[in-house]
């Protein structure tokens, strides 16, 4: 799988009357694609691309491209550099950026609870074993980094006494455990089914370490919303419809996931992650709500951890108007 992969589908009008208006929308989209950064494909990849694969972006008259990134910190940089129109990632990255006066806006959050969790090798007996040992994480302030350091803090293990190794994506960090490079790491809960046979064990679910941590939100900029508001509504409506369709069509989502992520038929991870996504309160909500209480809670955790020097008005990082319009267009209940 290449590091950057763009998937796109352009809608062509057919009806004589309705086609005139829709063809104009399509022509506009062809001139200005919407580039939405997503995390490198894993065992839930079908959900990521269903807005395109299911034809929902096309029906909205939007040319949607999905470049892949190792983590949301890199995607944020691409957004601020004008290389993306939006990206999906943890809310913490956006909050930290907004606190530093970056122009970022959360417009919807689809996965309601973090799935990144703490795993360790079989010889790991408890948190204190991490003193002087290596924990594999991702980029600073990315979700794996947040979960790992929160786990250490909750177990009174000073971060200064732990060696941190930034090892890119989840598969690379999993291999670091297998190869003895790291004693513990933070990776997606999807590795639980295969870890049991590899001598890798789950230490703590991320949803237990940081229970109100939103896994994935769609983030854009205020400047872009001013310039391309209608496209933003189309994009979010397509995403909502894609998530809703994926949840209702399990076998199709699993097939697309295996195809994109290169996961073989006997590997149980796609089925495991679909079950996680289908959880009523902690999985994917196609309506993409923006729970302010969770954002406020997350900000408090970031202040405690020293990622933020002081709290600020987190409503600055939210735009709920786009979501309200997208909900109506997607035909989903509020």
What CATH number does the domain containing 122 carry?
3.40.190.10
Residue 30 to residues 11, 12, 110, 118: CA-CA distances in angstroms?
10, 11, 27, 43
Instruction: Tell me: do 63 and 125 sit in the same domain.
Output: no
Instruction: Tell me: do 36 and 87 sit in the same domain.
Output: yes
Query: Measured between alpha carbons, how far is 267 from 272 in angstroms, rounded to an integer?
Result: 10
Enumerate residues 6+ apart whose C-beta is below 8 A from 226. Answer: none
Looking only at the bridges linking them, the beta strands covering 134-137 and 163-166 are parallel
Instruction: Tell me: do 148 and 97 sit in the same domain.
Output: no
DSSP assignment of 2-45 equals -SS----------SHHHHHHHHHHHHHHHHS-EEEEEEPP-TTH
pLDDT values of the chain reduced to their tens digit, one per residue, 334 residues: 333 333 333 222 222 223 333 333 443 444 599 999 999 999 999 999 999 999 999 999 999 999 999 889 999 999 999 999 999 999 999 999 999 999 999 999 999 999 999 999 999 999 999 999 999 998 888 889 989 999 999 999 999 999 999 887 899 999 999 999 999 999 999 999 999 899 999 999 999 999 899 999 999 999 999 999 999 999 999 999 999 999 999 999 999 999 999 999 999 999 999 999 999 889 999 999 999 999 999 999 899 888 899 999 999 999 999 999 999 999 998 7
Instruction: Tell me: do 99 and 122 sit in the same domain.
Output: no
Instruction: Tell me: do 103 and 217 sit in the same domain.
Output: yes
Domain that holds residue 131: 116-209
Instruction: Tell me: do 75 and 134 sit in the same domain.
Output: no
């Amino acid at each position: 799988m290449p590091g950057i992969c763009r998937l796109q589908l352009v809608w062509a009008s057919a009806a004589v009357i309705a086609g005139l208006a829709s063809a104009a929308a399509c022509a506009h989209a062809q001139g200005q694609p919407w580039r939405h950064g997503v995390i490198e494909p894993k065992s839930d990849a079908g959900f990521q691309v269903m807005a395109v694969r299911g034809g929902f972006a096309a029906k909205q008259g939007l040319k949607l491209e999905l470049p892949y990134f190792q983590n949301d910190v890199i995607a944020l940089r691409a957004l601020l550099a004008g290389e993306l129109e939006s990206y999906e990632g943890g809310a913490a990255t956006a909050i930290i950026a907004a606190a530093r006066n970056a122009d970022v806006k959360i417009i919807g959050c689809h996965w309601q609870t973090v799935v990144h969790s703490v795993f360790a090798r079989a010889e790991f007996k408890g948190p204190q074993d991490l003193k002087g040992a290596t924990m594999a994480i991702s980029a600073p302030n990315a979700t794996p980094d947040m979960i790992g350091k929160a786990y250490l803090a909750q177990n009174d293990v000073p971060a200064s006494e732990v060696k941190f190794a930034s090892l890119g994506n989840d598969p690379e960090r999993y291999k670091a455990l297998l190869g003895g490079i790291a004693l513990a790491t933070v990776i997606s809960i999807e590795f639980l089914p295969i870890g049991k046979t590899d001598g890798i064990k789950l230490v703590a679910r991320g949803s237990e370490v940081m229970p109100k941590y939103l896994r994935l939100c769609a983030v854009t900029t205020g400047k872009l919303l001013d310039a391309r508001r209608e496209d933003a509504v189309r994009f979010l409506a397509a995403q909502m419809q894609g998530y809703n369709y994926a949840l209702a069509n399990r076998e199709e989502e699993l097939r697309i996931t295996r195809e994109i992520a290169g996961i073989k038929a006997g590997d149980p991870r796609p089925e495991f992650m679909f079950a996680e996504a289908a959880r009523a309160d902690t999985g994917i909500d196609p309506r993409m709500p923006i729970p302010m209480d969770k954002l406020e809670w997350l900000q408090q955790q970031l202040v405690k951890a020293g990622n933020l020097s002081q709290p600020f008005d987190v409503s600055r990082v939210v735009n709920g108007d786009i979501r309200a319009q997208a909900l109506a267009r997607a035909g989903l209940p509020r």
